[in-house]
Structure 1
């Protein structure tokens, strides 16, 4: 080895050492507990602070398959002391329990939307119940919208969404279907206190039928976007964006021949609305090999009505992907900063099979990974494509416990996730060893060229050795620049905690 090579290796070791030790983290964990207790079966962390956090859990109130839902909300400190708690049921009409539609997180509030469609009184009613985190109370149920119906199996349906600034709530009412008629919708806008501020009826240029898949968006300036997918099982599926501004409506077909959108999201940057996501040029051949292959990512300017870019994956990325495209690629998140857009995708697929000898009970399998990050600007200039190499399979209660939480810091994208210790330490797998599934939290920082730096936090674990198996933070939520609330799950036990980046 010559002197130049020695100096290069020395410099590399110094850089690696600096990278590893320049970022550390502290963890505060509650004690492990079984996740079968009432109020803790399906926890979601909301409104965390550095002192406490709140969780809500939606659970069946009985053992019957169609048992009504019961919602538990509990505030804790990080020593797992219960500070406040409340529980409530969804509305009931004529002894019929409501069906939960969605839970929307507002400004220190939670909105629980549900509906009941009954033939007896001829109406489908949209209800909302509001949890206020300041007073720690749940409001009386409120009827937001009533849709007249003649029968339950043709009762229309509701969709709800909140604007990014949490000030406006949009309700999309898909009216009762009529044969050989065009689809009729109603859009209703409310402020955050549920005062109605707009109500408009429209007849769309789409046939009134159920074979649609659509997403609802509401921007801060109260513009409604409906991304509607039609002909989804045909050779050339179509994607259109319906824009509603007051009483004005405009429809744009975004997809085209050999440009078929598989997953997308509406974002706003500098007062311009965009549709961003993943696409393929060929749908049918992918069906025989486990699903369509996403072969590109795109950016479409909704405000000005033009496709900015549809970019196929680079040869470098394709070499890392089995085949010539990603299977089951979905949008995990989209972050924006100035004119830069970070499109974050993850391959995700779930499968289910009826348990042998059981009724209405299923075994679930969840396959995740790999992932991809694309950084581009609003002009369509690509800054980098960065491949996220991971793959995991989970069953039943485990679900997607190994995904990641993205956030921006100092102009760089960071991903908080976990990795198996034997992978991080490059150890061989020993079959039967209980430690092979033990995980550590890692911070993956992506620089301006797309290169990744992984820093493991070895003291991130919680619980005894046997309880660490399959452990991973399944949920992370940012409190402030350096603090994160996390939820860890493993071996039918779980714990809540706080992570502080130093």
Structure 2
């Protein structure tokens, strides 16, 4: 018996040693994540020589405080090299509101707008940061909507193509009673020089009692996914396709097929919608949301539903038959004829902080996730759940979810998991030990079977300086090299991870 025990111990130690050798980690020094310029870091532009981080922060503590943007360049070891900062535009002493930040080809695009009654216009602005020159452009006025009052000043939506060469801007003009929806759709190149503009009047009422999502493809074709009656039992999803001056509207949802979340892709010169759906969209269903019970692919170019398939029995069983609630399309990865539709459940709650004005605690809920492998004709290889669930408070949101990537035709996922779960034991003493997590690499074989490899040598801090790997803050440099970010309490650090 003693000999058997020693053999098992030797095997465990050997396996752990082998696991440790699967990845190397090179971490920068721990630093304070609450200092100005480093409060909300977002990693971009990975290269062999380093990476860049931008952080959007409030100026002052007021609820409607204006924003300031900090951009810092780091070397390959995670050491900061230089920092610049700039503000959003101001007109008539009124600060612009940040709409969207888009990462282009070695450039960052900051879109904002400000509506002022005094001069009767709502202006869409853009500022471009060039990562090569480390400079920010002068403010660009992309579009102006004439207005009569600020609370009816129209809306802007912005999107970029997958090749990062084309931008689309959707302009929803101010609401006018008893009229149809009038929009402007513009496309721009990577320098924000206008390529096209069309001004269609749609068949929908001009009330903005719906949700619109904008997509633009590499060929310059614009698709708008429109949702109506989202609070009713039978919501309607339509798609508007704009090619030059040609505008085509088609209704996608049907009885028993209600789209919850989706994205548009281009494949072999055709456009498709992929996403998740339910057959019962009544909002009161189960815990405040509709259960997503299927995934689908829809051919926009042919106006045809290719496949709407319910979850496999094994998937339903592994998520305890509760279905997926608040399921979002996290990513769509394409590898030759294989398409990976990747989803993650996400919801957010807020609660006012007692005794403070306009200050809230935000709870971010993630999981479970889902990985679906299929082809463009709707032939499904597998749908596999990632059965996890985590809640994160406020700035720790970046720890949630996971990071999928392809390598030599194989799907991998980076995530972090509690050591107590990985080691199949309960840890009850000490905050850091209870919450201690390790980076894990999940690999998927051809049938969707998952192998989970923990990296025990991924530790990023010690007692009272504990930091945890953030899977949503992972950047791939080469096939096996990644920049990573870790955060915890008031400390954070950057690192480089090298797979063997």
Pairwise TM-score range, normalised by the shorter structure: over 0.9
Whether the 8 Å contact between 1:440 and 1:456 is mirrored in structure 2 is yes
CA deviation after TM superposition for structure 1 residue 212, in Å? 1.2
The one of 183, 186, 195 aligned to 1:185: 183
Residues 199-220 of structure 1, C-alpha deviations (whole Å, 9 max, x = no match)? 1101011100121111100000
What residue number does 1:85 align with? 83
Compute the RMSD of aligned alpha carbons.
Answer: 2.0
SS of 1:284's partner is coil
The one of 148, 153, 156 aligned to 1:158: 156
CA deviation after TM superposition for structure 1 residue 284, in Å? 2.0
Whether the 8 Å contact between 2:231 and 2:282 is mirrored in structure 1 is no
**Counterparts of 2:95 and 2:346, CA distance in 1:** 33
**Counterparts of 2:47 and 2:340, CA distance in 1:** 26
CA deviation after TM superposition for structure 1 residue 156, in Å? 0.3
Residues 3-55 of structure 1, C-alpha deviations (whole Å, 9 max, x = no match)? xxxxxxx9xx99x9699659711111111112111110000011011221110
The one of 317, 320, 330 aligned to 2:318: 320
**Counterparts of 1:226 and 1:252, CA distance in 2:** 11
CA deviation after TM superposition for structure 1 residue 465, in Å? 2.8
CA deviation after TM superposition for structure 1 residue 84, in Å? 2.1
Q: Does 1:347 align with 2:335?
A: no
**Counterparts of 1:58 and 1:326, CA distance in 2:** 32
What residue number does 1:5 align with? none
Residues 398-425 of structure 1, C-alpha deviations (whole Å, 9 max, x = no match)? 1241311101112111001111111111
The equivalences for 1:58-69 within 5 A come to: 58-69=56-67
CA gap of 1:19–1:296, structure 2 versus 1, over 3 A, is farther
**Counterparts of 2:362 and 2:16, CA distance in 1:** 43
What residue number does 2:101 align with? 103
CA gap of 1:264–1:386, structure 2 versus 1, over 3 A, is same
**Counterparts of 2:21 and 2:334, CA distance in 1:** 24
**Counterparts of 1:100 and 1:123, CA distance in 2:** 17
Q: Does 1:302 align with 2:303?
A: no
**Counterparts of 1:62 and 1:400, CA distance in 2:** 23
CA gap of 1:88–1:375, structure 2 versus 1, over 3 A, is same
Q: Does 1:477 align with 2:480?
A: no
Whether the 8 Å contact between 1:29 and 1:78 is mirrored in structure 2 is no
**Counterparts of 1:497 and 1:259, CA distance in 2:** 45
Q: Does 1:171 align with 2:166?
A: no
Q: Does 1:437 align with 2:427?
A: no
The one of 231, 243, 246 aligned to 1:245: 243
SS of 2:72's partner is strand
Whether the 8 Å contact between 2:158 and 2:169 is mirrored in structure 1 is yes
**Counterparts of 2:17 and 2:235, CA distance in 1:** 47
TM-score by length of 1: 0.94
What residue number does 2:463 align with? 465
**Counterparts of 2:456 and 2:400, CA distance in 1:** 17
**Counterparts of 1:59 and 1:18, CA distance in 2:** 42
What residue number does 2:22 align with? 24
SS of 2:461's partner is coil
**Counterparts of 1:138 and 1:434, CA distance in 2:** 41
**Counterparts of 1:405 and 1:447, CA distance in 2:** 17
Whether the 8 Å contact between 2:329 and 2:341 is mirrored in structure 1 is yes
What residue number does 1:384 align with? 382
Whether the 8 Å contact between 1:42 and 1:57 is mirrored in structure 2 is yes
- 44-53 or 444-453: which moved more? 44-53
Whether the 8 Å contact between 2:168 and 2:187 is mirrored in structure 1 is yes
CA gap of 1:463–1:271, structure 2 versus 1, over 3 A, is same
**Counterparts of 2:363 and 2:460, CA distance in 1:** 26
CA deviation after TM superposition for structure 1 residue 434, in Å? 2.9
Whether the 8 Å contact between 1:440 and 1:472 is mirrored in structure 2 is no
**Counterparts of 1:313 and 1:20, CA distance in 2:** 36
CA gap of 1:88–1:469, structure 2 versus 1, over 3 A, is closer
The equivalences for 1:217-232 within 5 A come to: 217-232=215-230
**Counterparts of 1:434 and 1:399, CA distance in 2:** 18
Instruction: List structure 1 segments (4+ residues) > 6 angstroms apart after TM superposition.
Output: 16-20
Residues 220-276 of structure 1, C-alpha deviations (whole Å, 9 max, x = no match)? 000000010011111100111110000001011110001000000101122221101
The equivalences for 1:229-378 within 5 A come to: 229-284=227-282, 286-378=284-376
The alignment of Structure 1 onto Structure 2 pairs a total of residues equal to: 490
The one of 109, 126, 129 aligned to 1:128: 126
5+ long unaligned stretches in structure 2:
1-7
Q: Does 1:200 align with 2:201?
A: no
CA deviation after TM superposition for structure 1 residue 285, in Å? 6.9
CA deviation after TM superposition for structure 1 residue 483, in Å? 1.4
What residue number does 2:72 align with? 74
Whether the 8 Å contact between 1:437 and 1:470 is mirrored in structure 2 is no
- 278-287 or 121-130: which moved more? 278-287
Whether the 8 Å contact between 1:84 and 1:136 is mirrored in structure 2 is no
TM-score by length of 2: 0.94
CA gap of 1:431–1:469, structure 2 versus 1, over 3 A, is farther
